[in-house]
Amino acid sequence: MQFFLDNWMLIAVALSAGGMLLWPALSGGGPGALTADGAVQLINREKAVVIDVCETAEYANGHVVGAKNIPLGQLETRLTTVVKNKATPLIMVCYSGARSNRAVSIAKKLGFEKALSLSGGINAWRAANLPVEKA
C-alpha cells in the first residue's frame, strides 16, 4: 500500500497513457472501421457499395461519389431492397462516423457480414482530398 501512496503520480501517468492508447479503438476506430484510403481500395478491388446513412438534407450537401442514400432510420427496411447480394462489401458513411457505426451493426444483423464503417465519415473523406458530389 505504501508503494501506491509514494508513487501515485507515476500510476496516474501510466493509467492516462493507457487510456490515450485505447481511445481510438473506443471512439470509432475499432473493429469494422475503415480509413478513407482503405475504402477506396475496397471500392476498386471488391466493388464495395457505399451507403450514406445521413439524412436527405445532409446527403444533398455533399456525399461520396456514387453513394446510395438510406437514412439510418430507414436502413433496416430499405437495405435489402437496395443491395440484393449479402456477400457484397458495404461501406457505411455518415457525417462524422458515429451513425455509420450503428449502421454497421444493423447491416450485420440483416446478414451483411462485410459491412464496414468509414472512420471519421465524410469529414475524413474530404480531408483525404477524395471526390465529393452534391445532389
- pLDDT over 60 at 19, yes or no: yes
Q: What is the pLDDT of residue 134?
A: 87
SS3 88: coil
Which DSSP category does 95 fall into? Answer: S
Q: What is the pLDDT of residue 135?
A: 76
pLDDT tens for each residue of 31-75: 557 889 999 999 999 999 999 999 999 999 999 999 999 999 999
Whole-number CA gyration radius for the chain: 19
Cα–Cα distance measured from residue 92 to residue 109, given in angstroms and rounded to the nearest whole number: 14
DSSP string, 48-83: PEEEE-S-HHHHHH-EETTPEE--GGGHHHHHHHH-
